[in-house]
Amino acid sequence: MRILVIGAGLSGVTTAWFLQSRGHQVCLLDRQPEVANETSFANGGLLHASHAEPWNAPGVLWQLLRWVGREDSPLLLRPAALPGLMRWGLGFLRYSRPRHYRRSMRHNAALALYSLDVMRTLRRELGLRYDDRQNGILKIFRDTAAMQTAVDNSNQMAEVGLRHTVLQPRQAVALEPALDDCAHELSGAIYYPDDESGDPHLFSRALIEHFRRIGGEVRLETTVSGLQRSGDRLTGVATDHGLLSADRYVLAAGSYSVALAKTAGLRLPIYPVKGYSLTAELPDWRGAPAIPLIDDGNKVVMGMLGHRLRMAGTAEFNGYDRSLGQARSAYVLRQCLKTFPSLGERLGLEQTTPWCGLRPMTMDGPPILGQSRLHDLFLNCGAGHLGWTFACGSGKLVADLVDGSEPALDAGAYSAARF
């Protein structure tokens, strides 16, 4: 089949690879001059099945209200965004009920663990390198109640295969000596040995070269303006280089999938949630963590990518605004360096490269994967804060559905039909 994949971020690149490697003729489209140049460019770098909980935990409404308009909060809801957020926001709250939340968490964990397995196979078969590390992830806590909630969630996810070990503060420091400066503040930690880290941009660039070598076509600097529909099928994709048609289509344009789907009469319950990262060159990385960390209380993550320290976090509800706010960047840096005071003495905001991107969040947490209401249009979007973690698994699952293969997971759990 000839297949058009719209969007060359992590979701699009992996889907295109799996389809091309099965003998289909795939054309990958993106408006940017290179692949993975928007939301997939500089995220936190963690591949974390351990962090598969949806963001709409029970009680999230009161947190959002408490943090409305506050620049120094992990979740920032800007009042100006409220009118455009109402429909999605009501669904976000509806799915925060405990039974919905637990179900979504299990579906996320199952996909994340599957995706990590697919990633390992792909890395071994293709010899991919992307500043990757396979030394697990450590989640640290300063609040006993928050840690107990995380332990309970991890125990539930263990039912689908998540391995974890609960640590006392002294055990966490023994595993990651960089935590010694803040050991007195910790209530404990959880270590997830199967989690990984790596640079998603380097990964995408490496995989796209293999895609090209086996005959895949990449059309960059090509803007898609709409999907043309007739009945229950697409007749083509309108671009600034003319109309393109295929036997099958995959929409993998991140948060911008919403507007494109709308041109074909489809509604996707996805909202863009801005996240920030900072990257610092650390040829001398004394004081930085060797094991990637998730600081649960401060809602930030950090880890080394080669000789670079990547720090990321926060969630900002502000529509499609992509402006880079210095106050939010400074907040991320400040929260990360709370854990490493000695590193903070050597590292300031001016020594980092800031970045922000729009996470495509569904109302309930899991992504939207598989066939749409149209016969020839398939979806790979809505991965939210787990886009890097889900990339290989969602790409393979969607490729299975496009060419009629039996997927390894229950595809119905991720179908758009669930809404």
* Angstrom distance (rounded) from CA 400 to CA 370: 9
- In the chain, the largest separation of any two C-alpha atoms, in whole Å, equals 64
Nearby residues of 199 by Cβ (< 8 Å), 6 or more positions away:
45, 130, 131, 132, 305, 306, 310
Q: How far is CA 108 from the centre of its chain?
A: 11
CATH 3.50.50.60 domain extents, the chain: 2-40+202-267+366-418
Residue 286 DSSP code: T
What is the dotted CATH code of the domain comprising 2-40+202-267+366-418?
3.50.50.60
The tens-digit pLDDT sequence of the chain (419 residues) is 999 999 999 999 999 999 999 999 999 999 999 999 999 999 999 999 999 999 999 987 777 777 776 777 777 888 888 888 889 999 999 999 999 999 999 999 999 999 999 999 999 999 999 999 999 999 999 999 999 999 999 999 999 999 999 999 999 999 999 999 899 999 999 999 999 999 999 999 999 999 999 999 999 999 999 999 999 999 999 999 999 999 999 999 999 999 999 999 999 999 999 999 999 999 887 788 999 999 988 889 999 999 999 999 999 999 999 999 899 999 999 999 999 888 888 889 999 999 999 999 999 999 999 999 999 999 999 999 999 999 999 999 999 999 999 999 999 999 999 99
Q: How far is CA 250 from CA 136, 218, 351, 380, in A?
A: 32, 14, 40, 7
The structure's pTM equals 0.96
CATH 3.30.9.10 domain extents, the chain: 50-96+132-196+271-362
| DSSP, residue by residue, 96-112 | TSHHHHHHHHHHHHHHH
Q: Which phi-psi region, left, alpha or beta, contains residue 40 (left: φ > 0; alpha: ψ -120 to 50)?
A: alpha
The pLDDT value recorded for residue 151 is: 98
Residue 143 DSSP code: -
Backbone φ and ψ for 263, nearest 5 degrees, come out as -70, -15
Superfamily of domain 50-96+132-196+271-362: D-Amino Acid Oxidase, subunit A, domain 2 (3.30.9.10)
